[in-house]
Amino acid sequence: MPFVSLGLTPSLCNPLAKLGYTTPTPVQLKSIPIVLTGKDLLARAQTGTGKTAAFGLPMIQRLQIVGGAPAGTRKPRALVLVPTRELALQVHKSLTTYGVPANMRVTAIFGGVSIVPQKRDLQRGVDIIVATPGRLLDHMEQRTVDLSGIEILTLDEADRMLDMGFLPPLRRILKVLPRERQTLLFSATISQDVVRLSADFTRDPQRVDVSEGQIMAQTVTHQVHPVSDQRKGDLLTHILLQKPTGQALVFCRTKHGSNRVGQYLERAGIKAAVIHGNKSQGARTKALSDFKAGHVNVLVATDIAARGLDIVQLPLVVNFDLPMVAEDYIHRAGRTGRAGLAGRAVSLVSPADRDLLRDIQRLLPAPVEHVVIEDFAVTASSHEALPEAGRRHQGNRPGRGFGGSRSGGRQGSGGAGRRPSRPGGSRARA
C-alpha cells in the first residue's frame, strides 16, 4: 500500500522513496489516517517502527503553509516533547526532511548546549518545536517562547519521560497550551501511569497498538549466554573478538558500569565509546558521531542515553546487564534489525537474573535461545536455574583476546600479563 493511499498529499509522499520508505510500517498504516482526521491518539509502538513518520508526516500536512510566512512572524503551531537530547536531534532531523515540501521551519531545543542560538531560532519564527521538557521550561520562564498557538502536541516515548520524572514539567507545560488542540501520545509500553497521563492530556483518543513482539520476531534473533557476573567482561570481549560482528551496541544498567565496561574494552584493544547522562552534550555528540562514522566499533550506553540513537545497519546489541524493567528490553533489542535487516540481541545472564529473564521472555513470541559457551559456562545447577528455553552448547574456545589470553583478559595497555579490572559483577554493586 503506498503512502498516498493513507491520505497524504503527493508532495509529501514523493520524497519518501529517496529516504528508503517504500511501504508504510504497521504503526504508520494505523496512525496516519487518524492523525489526519484531527483526532487525539494513544499509540503503543516501540523504537524503530517508524513512529516519527507516523506522527510527523500527517502533522506537517495539517500544518501546511502554502508559500510560508515572512520570517519573524511565525508562531509555533506544533510541539513535540521527547525525553532526551539525542532523540530531540533525531526527531528534528526527520521532521526537517519531511517538512521541506511544505516549507516548514523546525527547531530543536534541549539542555546541555547554549540557549542563545535557540532563542534566535525562536525569534525568527518556527512552525514546529522539538523539545525536552526541562529546556522548554527554561524558555518559558525567560519568555522566549510563545506556545499560545500550538495546534498539535506530540509526546514521544511517553513512558520514558515518566520514568525520568518529567511528569511535573509536563503538567506545567500543559497549563499554557491551548485547550483546543490535537494531542498525540506515543509509548513503547502502556502502563497505568501512561493511561493516566493520556487521560490528563488527551480527549477521547483513538487507540493504536502495534505488537512489539510480532515486529521484532521478523528480523531479530534473541540469544542468552549463561555466565557468572565475574566472567561477563571476558565473555563480552570473546563475543566481540571471536568473529567479525561489525558494530555493536552494549547496554549497561548504570553510568559507572558503562564507564568500566568501556575502559575494559579499550584495554582489550577494542575501540569503544561510552555515553550516559553524566557525559556532557559535546562528549555524547562526539561519541555518537564517531560510532555512526565507524571510528569506534562498540558503543557502551545506559538506556536513557541511547534513546534516539538511529543507526540502520546495527547487527548486534549486547545486554551486559539485563534491564530492571522487562519492557526496556524491547527498546534495546529494537536498536538492531531495523529496515528489514537481520539483527541479533545477545544477553549475558547470570543465575541471579532468572526472574528478569522470565519477565522478558513473556514479552517475546518465541523462546529465547540459550547458547552455552563452554569456557564461560556457569555450573550445571546454576544453568538449570535459568528459565527453560532452547539450549545448545557452543564448543568453540575463546579466541585470543588481550595479547594471547584464551579467557580474553590478560594484556591491556598496562603491559603483558596484566589483567584489566573486570567489569563483571557491576549489577550487585549498582
The whole-angstrom separation of Cα 400 and Cα 407 is 8
Q: Which domains does the chain have, with CATH numbers?
A: 3-210 (3.40.50.300), 215-429 (3.40.50.300)
Across the range 338-349, mean pLDDT stands at: 85
The whole-angstrom separation of Cα 6 and Cα 29 is 7
347 Cβ neighbours under 8 A, 6+ residues apart: 222, 223, 224, 225, 318, 319, 322, 357, 368
pLDDT in tens, 191-225: 888 999 999 999 999 999 886 544 554 678 899 99
pLDDT in tens, 394-427: 554 443 332 233 333 333 333 333 344 556 544 3
Residue 274: is its pLDDT beyond 80?
yes
pLDDT score, position 282: 81
Three-class SS state of 83: coil
Angle in degrees, CA 162, 107, 165, rounded to 5:
10
What single string gives the DSSP state of each residue in 254-287? SHHHHHHHHHHHHHTT--EEEE-TTS-HHHHHHH
The mean pLDDT of the chain is: 82
The whole-angstrom separation of Cα 384 and Cα 371 is 13
Is 369 in contact with 221 (CB distance < 8 Å)? Answer: yes
Percent of the chain with pLDDT over 70: 80
Query: Regarding beta strands 248-251 and 106-109, do their DSSP bridges make them parallel or antiparallel, or are they unpaired?
Result: unpaired
The whole-angstrom separation of Cα 408 and Cα 411 is 8
pLDDT tier, 133 (very low <50, low <70, confident <90, very high otherwise):
very high
The dihedral built from the CA positions of residue 112, 114, 116 and 122, taken in this order, carries a sign that is negative
The whole-angstrom separation of Cα 141 and Cα 173 is 11
Distances 183 to 51, 82, 220 between C-alpha atoms, Å: 15, 14, 32
User: In the numeric block, which cell numbers belong to residue 154?
Assistant: 506530540
pLDDT in tens, 276-331: 878 887 888 888 888 888 899 999 998 876 666 667 678 999 999 999 888 788 77
